[in-house]
Amino acid sequence: MLLAASGAQAQGASNSMPMQPSASASASRSVMPLVDGEVRKVDMGKGLIVLKHGDIPNLGMPAMTMGFDVADRQMLKAVKAGDKVQFQAEMVGGKAIVTELKPKR
């Protein structure tokens, strides 16, 4: 009986645990700074944007010019080559994907 009771307590504790990591993961995600960049090329058909960008700390990536896929092609409608932007990129399936993109004001 003692084993059954301790097993029930462990299950009860594990049911409340998943919510805490999710909350802290989304909180840390929202505090990541946006990276400054300049649009070099936009390819709506391929869902690709080429950015000259500063360091991307969350990816450990130095400043460079490179192409990124975008999480949502609709983001590309708001920018054109030469625009200054701020963006966030994340690793998704082993690829750096732009997940947030906005014109710099």
Confidence of residue 31 (pLDDT cuts 50, 70, 90): low
Confidence of residue 11 (pLDDT cuts 50, 70, 90): very low
Residue 19 pLDDT > 50: no
Choice among 4-13, 38-47, 59-68, 95-104 with the minimum mean pLDDT: 4-13
Residue 32 confidence (pLDDT): 76
- Residue closest to 61 by CA, chosen among 98, 105, 23, 104: 98
Which range has the top average pLDDT, 28-32, 37-41, 90-94?
37-41
The DSSP code sequence of the chain is: -HHHHHHHHHHHHHHHTTHHHHHHHHHHHHTSPPEEEEEEEEETTTTEEEEEE--BGGGTB-SEEEEEEES-GGGGGG--TT-EEEEEEEEETTEEEEEEEEE--
Alpha-carbon distance values, 40 to 10, 29, 34, 80, 81 (Å): 54, 27, 18, 8, 5
pTM for the predicted model, two decimal places: 0.70
Q: Does 26 or 104 have the greater pLDDT score?
A: 104
pLDDT 10s digits, 46-65: 999 999 999 999 999 999 99
Alpha-carbon distance values, 2 to 6, 7, 16 (Å): 6, 9, 22
